[in-house]
Each structure stands twice: as structure tokens, then as C-alpha cells.
Amino acid sequence: MFDLLRTLLAYVLILGVLVFIHEFGHYFAARLCGVKVDTFSIGFGPALRRWYDRTGTEWRISAVPLGGYVKPHGFEGPEDATDEQKAAWVPGKTFHSKSVGARALVIVMGPVFNYIFAIIAFTVLFSTVGQPHLKESVASVSAGSAAEKAGLQAGDVIKKIGTLPMSGPQDVMGTVSARPDVTTTLDVLRDGHDLTLPVTFDSQPTSGKNQRKTGLLGISFAVEPGHPLPVWTAAVKGVQESWVTSERILQGVGQIITGQRSPRELGGTIRIAQMSGQVSHYGWASILSFMALLSINLGLINLFPIPVLDGGRLVFYAAEAVLRRPVPKKIQDMGMQVGIALIAALFLFSTVNDLTNLGLFRWLVHLAG
């Protein structure tokens, strides 16, 4: 029971901080562009607590901690606003009256603030505890393991698993764990020569009541401990780490779209909650590192060109800048409906994946006999 409470609390706090940072980016840009902000909410649904600042912005902490939003003054535009809403508009302070560049800046600053937070978090980590990293080459091979049977040796560098290119040890471990008992090939670099080794991964059940299998290869990688870096060097490394993390996310999404990876690897809010609970056991450095990675995910995904997300709105604004007139309302509405349907489908699919990994459906089948 205590572990469940710890997980829920860690999830709410971590997600709440990252959502606040994202929405504060929108808020900051809106104020910078002279747009009044009507509402700043952390969470959705009924407000648990609300207050107003001197500019008239209503700040809320709402009941459902699964996101948040900022509502700029006049965001709905003349075509969607009621006569009552129009009467309440403050001249010169509405979102829709600003230039397309100003509106785009307000939208893009949410993801930008997520990246700024990630870079600052990595900078703090690298300047205090250093940047530990795994060596690319295999350090050891367990006796009797799938790796030994395949002929893998210490010093080998795994370049591909099947058709999937590997970007490092984390990629290798993640790919193997998602493929229990799978037969495939390993493309390795050994003493300057390329080799292809057939392999069948081992598997083992995870701990806990709701067991599932995880893949095993039977290798280990050596960890090179980090050393605290000068702040400027740590900041440069923070930018580099944010860039590399973004590349890995995009690569993973591309591999799922092209069928190189299983869509079952997609995780949702339940998996984020699980991971939040896990990192909360390991101290502030692990929590900050996890928050940086999650912040990059949040910022990058919001830039995807899907209507409803920030990236979808930026596409409409880019079209408006080129055409010198807004995209027709009908097309925007259709895009929003498609975007909502797509996001809802992804949310449902990722939730089913999470519940499957927890063993819920296996438990229900067991109950049904």
C-alpha cells in the first residue's frame, strides 16, 4: 500500500512540475506578446483551488492531474465566440488579434520550455555528479546464456538486432527485454570485422503477482563513472544529451511506424506512473534525470504535426503565413476532429499495453476459468 501511495505521489508531482513548465512557456510568451491570460490550470476538471493574480489571470489546481492548460484571452476567435465573450474582450489583449508570428510564438514556447528545463536539469546533473555512461563494447558474457550460445564475446560491439540499428547499450537492453524467446540475428563489430550471429533470446518472468516475460541476452556493459564537470562544459553536454535523446525518440517512433518495432512497446500514463515510483527510490539524481527525459518526450511529442497538439497549430499558422490568410475554419475543425480521434486512439492503445504488461487481462482470464 505504501509503495502504491509513493508511486501515485511521485507521478503527480513529477507530471505536475513538467506540465507547469510547459504551460508556463505558453503563459510567458502570451504575456510577452501582450496577450492577457484568462486561465492557467494544472490538471483538468473541477478546480480544487483557485486564485487570481493582479493581471486578472485565474490560477487553478484541478482534480484530474493528467495535464493542464493555459487559456489566452480571445483564444476562440470571432467565428467561435459568443456575443457575451466578444463583449468581454479587452481591445489589444486578445490572442486572435495578434500577428501570426506572435500566435506561433505563444504556441511553440510550451515545448521550448520543456527543452530548456531538460537542458538545465542535465547541466545540474553533469556539474554535480558527472555524466556516467556505458561503454559500447560488451564487458562480459554469462555462461550458458543466449549470448554465449550465439558466440558473442567480450569486446564485441552490437550494431544491429535483426534489422534494427542499435544506438548504444541502452538501446540493446531495451530491444532485448521487449523480445523474450525471439529468434533473430546480431550484427556485431569484432576487432574491426563485421559478423552476423544467429541468436534466440532467453526469457524470465518479472517479479510480482502479475507476471510477464522479459527478454534476456546474458551480457553486461561496463559503466564509466562520471566526474563533475565545469558548469559551462556541463551546459554544452546538456544540450548534446537533449539532442541525442530527441533523435532516439524519433528513431523509435519511425521504427514503430515502419514495423521494425512492435507497437506494443508504446507506453502510456500507467507506465509513466510506474517509472515515477521506481526512480523515487533512487535519490534526487535519478528523479532529475527521469524528469529531464520525460520533459524532452513531452516537448517533442507536442511538436508532432497533429491537430490539437502544439505542432498541429503551428502547421495551420505556417499555412496562414504562406497563404496570407487563415486556413478555412471548416478545414481546421476537420483537422481537430481527426487529431482528437488519433490522440484518443493512441491513449487507449497505450493504456491497453500498460494493463497487458501489468497482467490485468491474464488475471481476468484466470478469474473466468
Beta-strand relationship, 133-141 and 219-224: antiparallel
Joined together, the cell numbers standing for residue 125 give 546533473
Q: CA-CA distances (angstroms) from residue 137 to 198, 219, 221, 223? A: 19, 10, 7, 11
Burial of 54 (0-12, 13-18, 19+ CB in 10 A): exposed
* Cβ atoms within 10 Å, residue 22: 26
- Residue 310 and residue 316: Cα distance in Å, rounded? 10
- Residue 195 and residue 188: Cα distance in Å, rounded? 5
- Residue 26 and residue 111: Cα distance in Å, rounded? 9
- Residue 280 and residue 9: Cα distance in Å, rounded? 10
Q: Choose the catalytic residue: 23, 76, 265, 320.
A: 23
Half-sphere exposure at residue 241, Cβ-oriented, CA atoms within 13 angstroms? 26
* Cβ atoms within 10 Å, residue 63: 11
* Cβ atoms within 10 Å, residue 53: 10
- Residue 4 and residue 7: Cα distance in Å, rounded? 5
DSSP of 178-226, one letter per residue? T-TT-EEEEEEEETTEEEEEEEE-EEEEPSSSS--EEEE--EEEEEE--
* Cβ atoms within 10 Å, residue 237: 20
Do 139 and 221 meet the contact criterion of CB atoms below 8 Å apart?
yes
136 is catalytic: no
Q: Three-class SS of residue 280?
A: coil
Q: CA-CA distances (angstroms) from residue 217 to 126, 159, 178, 325? A: 31, 15, 11, 57
Catalytic residue IDs:
23
